[in-house]
């Protein structure tokens, strides 16, 4: 359970401080089709007590699926995972990592909240063996989840440490000079920020809701797809109910730069939450901040198994508009999901665009006491993907 520190801002100790390439997506899908026997393992769900549990693979774990041993699969099948240490960020930690910046109280009584953001070029691994020359905010993809409270004054000190010009364009209310838009405010230090240059964006936290920020330099799709985006949460003044909160940024990677994605994910690493299911408590409120930043595909979606959620589009109302198990988002659309898990077990969540699900956009929630649960066999669904051969690059 995360207690939102924004609700305690007046007590904050900081308050008084002065201030690959040769493989295409279609080829991947063709390869995925060959993995049908592995996918079939996924459907082998059996009832166990009150809880649907995945059939265990026994002592040899997730790689012990049978029926297709003649199909070569090196990386996933050998247990390789992404080197999170080399990446410098870990999708499991990133999930609940909210960056509240630093705050101080202005003479007016208003809270000033500030962050330092640096654009950096960095190679990251988006699936085992699949490297990508990313452009990042603060070395991670997605960039930090910036979180503030409605009505505060926000300052984002941006330094462009990349080899390419970039900006930070925030969704929300702000004057045009603060829009991170090339050509606007160039004579006042804003607009396009060249390598080595810096600029401070300043605006009010408004409206409350779930927003995003991203680079706005042309070619726009390329600058965004490279990794220059992040979630931007503005809490309502009165806050929201306490919950286990997490951020899911739906993204993809065009690893051969052919203007279509080869890898799809939530928080960058394909199938990460299959390898490490998201642990949640039974009957506890879970709140998901879901943002779609996918380029080169018009729509993305989120679907959950064995459950329904309340959906708050853009998070700008405290009343949900829908009670559903599937939501579709266009690019830059986002929304808040609230749900509870009434039963123990492993519950899949994935893009209901099945093509995306099979190329990485799939994960699991693990509810309840792990010692009472059978191990999920879901990893077997992707072990035969051509990524697993370790040579897309």
Residues of the shown chain interacting with Cu ion in the complex, contacts defined by CB under 5 A: 166, 215, 217, 223
Q: Which C-beta is closer to Cu ion: that of 76 or that of 137?
A: 137
125: nearest Cα among 300, 340, 269: 269
Residue number, 215 or 348, with CB nearest to Cu ion: 215
Sheet with 299-304: strands ordered across = 278-280, 362-367, 345-350, 299-304, 326-330
Q: Residue 271's beta-bridge partner residues?
A: none
Q: Which is nearer to Cu ion, 177 or 215 (CB)?
A: 215
Of residues 160 and 362, the one with the C-beta less far from Cu ion: 160
For residue 374, what are the CA distances in angstroms to 51, 64, 307, 386?
10, 14, 20, 28
Nearest to 153 by CA among 192, 209, 230, 101: 101
Q: Which is nearer to Cu ion, 113 or 166 (CB)?
A: 166
Residue labelled with tokens 């909240």: 113
Report the distance separating Cα 24 and Cα 277, nearest Å: 28
Tell which residue, 37, 136, 110, has the closest CA to residue 381. Answer: 37
Give the shortest CB-98-to-Cu ion separation in angstroms.
Answer: 24
The residue (of 137 and 208) whose beta carbon lies closer to Cu ion is 137
User: Taken in order 183, 295, 77, 273, is the CA torsion positive or negative?
Assistant: positive
The closest of 133, 141, 195, 134 to 164, measured between CA atoms, is 195
Q: Which two tokens stand for residue 279?
A: 């642990």
């Amino acid at each position: 359970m995360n207690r939102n520190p924004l609700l305690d801002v007046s007590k904050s100790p900081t308050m008084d401080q002065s201030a690959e390439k040769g493989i295409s997506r279609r080829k991947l899908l063709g390869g995925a089709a060959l993995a049908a026997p592995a996918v079939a393992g996924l459907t082998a769900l059996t009832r166990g007590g009150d809880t649907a549990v995945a059939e265990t693979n026994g002592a040899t774990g997730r790689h012990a699926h049978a029926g297709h041993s003649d199909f070569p699969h090196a990386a996933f099948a050998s247990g390789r995972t992404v080197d999170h240490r080399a990446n410098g960020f870990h999708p499991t930690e990133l999930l609940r990592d909210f960056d509240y910046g630093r705050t101080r109280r202005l003479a007016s009584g208003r809270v000033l909240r500030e962050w330092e953001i640096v654009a950096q070029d960095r190679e990251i691994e988006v699936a085992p063996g699949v490297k990508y020359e990313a452009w990042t905010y603060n070395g991670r993809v997605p960039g930090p989840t910036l979180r503030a409270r409605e009505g505060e004054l926000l300052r984002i000190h941006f330094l462009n440490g990349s080899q390419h010009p970039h900006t930070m364009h925030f969704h929300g209310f702000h004057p045009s000079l603060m829009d991170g838009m090339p050509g606007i405010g160039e004579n006042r230090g804003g607009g396009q920020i060249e390598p080595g240059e810096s600029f401070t964006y300043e605006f009010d936290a408004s409206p409350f809701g779930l927003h995003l920020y991203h680079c706005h330099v042309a070619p726009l799709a390329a600058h965004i797809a490279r990794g220059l985006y992040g979630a931007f949460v503005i809490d309502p003044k009165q806050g929201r109910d306490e919950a286990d909160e997490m951020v899911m940024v739906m993204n993809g990677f065009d690893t051969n730069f052919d203007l279509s994605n080869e890898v799809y994910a939530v928080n960058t690493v394909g199938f990460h939450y299959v390898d490490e299911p998201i642990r949640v408590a039974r009957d506890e409120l879970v709140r998901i901040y879901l943002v779609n930043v996918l380029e080169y595909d018009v729509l993305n979606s989120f679907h959950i198994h064995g459950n329904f959620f309340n959906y708050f589009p853009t998070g700008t109302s405290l009343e949900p508009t829908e009670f559903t198990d599937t939501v579709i988002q266009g690019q830059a659309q986002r929304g808040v999901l609230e749900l509870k898990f009434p039963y123990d077990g492993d519950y899949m969540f994935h893009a209901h665009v099945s093509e995306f699900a099979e190329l990485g956009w799939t994960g699991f929630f693990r509810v309840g006491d792990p010692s009472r649960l059978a191990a999920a066999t879901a990893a077997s669904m992707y072990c035969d993907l051509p990524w697993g051969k370790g040579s897309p690059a």
